């Protein structure tokens, strides 16, 4: 199975780039599944339903959220209606929406996508490790399992927490990929037991910025340590950043993993 995960989409620049380029990427890379983190799509904070529909129409199969899940209140009823948009699994019981979803491909293969949110330097949610473990206990992957592949989005600040998540579930999932920091890391690898891993996928947005936001306002907050005007997304050409993984249907494990960086200011990388 050929899977592409695109990192946090930031603002109009990121949205437009995903909608424009994703249909071509699906064909060029012969993708079976596309997962997009959309939690910063709406002016940098949250995801509006019309934006979710645009990503899905462009070729996304699943959209994940994160700590900005509730910034656009109109997404709450939408989460109840469309199982393809998920929020972190480890929100307390009773929180709207769902933290995992099973996508059925046109050929009948199934993929579990789940998301957890880290707790280091973030909101103190329920334990993300035990939350993921509970879902994975009922979704074994491979030819004889319930699903043929599993993608785990770890929305977290600390690289150590993401790495611990990768090693904890090595061999149980196809891909563990980090989101939230908006900076693509260079540590893509297949772990010892066969799980593909990258600490952060990066963002889909303008990198002439401070993690996607206009430089002046964001930088001044560090100089003055005072809240200023509301941060606004940078509006230059976006770089699409993500992770490509090819899996073995017999086991669900990764055969190879590669970064993707397309457009904008960063060095360009495309999977073979």
Helix (H) or strand (E) holding 198: strand 196-198
139 catalytic per annotation: no
CA distances from 37 to 152, 212, 215 (A): 12, 14, 23
- Can you tell me the distance from the alpha carbon of 97 to that of 52, in angstroms, rounded to the nearest whole number? 14
Name every residue whose Cβ is closer than 8 Å to that of residue 33 and which is 6 or more positions away in sequence: 1, 2, 3, 4, 61, 62, 103, 105, 111, 149, 151
The radius of gyration of the chain's CA atoms, rounded to the nearest angstrom, is: 17
Q: Which of 43, 68, 155, 180 is catalytic?
A: 68
Quick one: DSSP state of residue 25? H
Q: Which pair of structure tokens corresponds to residue 269?
A: 């990388």
Name every residue whose Cβ is closer than 8 Å to that of residue 214 and which is 6 or more positions away in sequence: 231, 232, 233, 234, 235
Active-site residue numbers? 68
């Amino acid at each position: 199975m050929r899977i592409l995960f695109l990192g946090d989409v930031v603002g109009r620049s990121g949205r437009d780039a995903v909608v424009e380029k994703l249909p071509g990427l699906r064909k060029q890379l012969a993708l079976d599944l596309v997962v997009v983190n959309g939690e910063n799509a709406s002016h940098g904070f949250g995801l509006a339903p019309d934006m979710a529909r645009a990503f899905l129409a462009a070729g996304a199969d699943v959209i994940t959220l994160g700590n900005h899940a509730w910034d656009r209140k109109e997404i709450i009823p939408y989460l109840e209606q469309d199982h393809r948009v998920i929020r972190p699994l480890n929100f307390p019981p009773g929180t709207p929406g769902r933290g995992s979803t099973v996508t059925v491909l046109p050929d009948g293969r199934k993929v579990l996508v789940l998301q957890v949110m880290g707790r280091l330097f973030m909101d103190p949610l329920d334990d993300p490790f035990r939350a993921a473990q509970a879902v994975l206990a009922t979704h074994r992957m491979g030819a004889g399992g319930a699903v043929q592949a599993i993608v785990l989005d770890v929305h977290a600040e600390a690289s150590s927490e993401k790495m611990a998540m990768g090693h904890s579930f090595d061999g149980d999932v196809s891909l563990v990929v980090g989101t939230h920091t908006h900076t693509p890391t260079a540590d893509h690898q297949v772990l010892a037991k066969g799980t593909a891993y990258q600490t952060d996928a990066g963002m889909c947005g303008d990198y002439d910025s401070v993690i996607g936001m206009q430089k002046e306002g964001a930088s001044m907050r560090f100089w003055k340590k005072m809240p200023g005007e509301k941060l606004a997304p940078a509006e230059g050409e976006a770089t699409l950043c993500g992770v490509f993984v090819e899996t073995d249907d017999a086991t669900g494990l990764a055969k190879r993993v590669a970064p993707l960086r397309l457009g904008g200011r960063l060095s360009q990388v495309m999977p073979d």
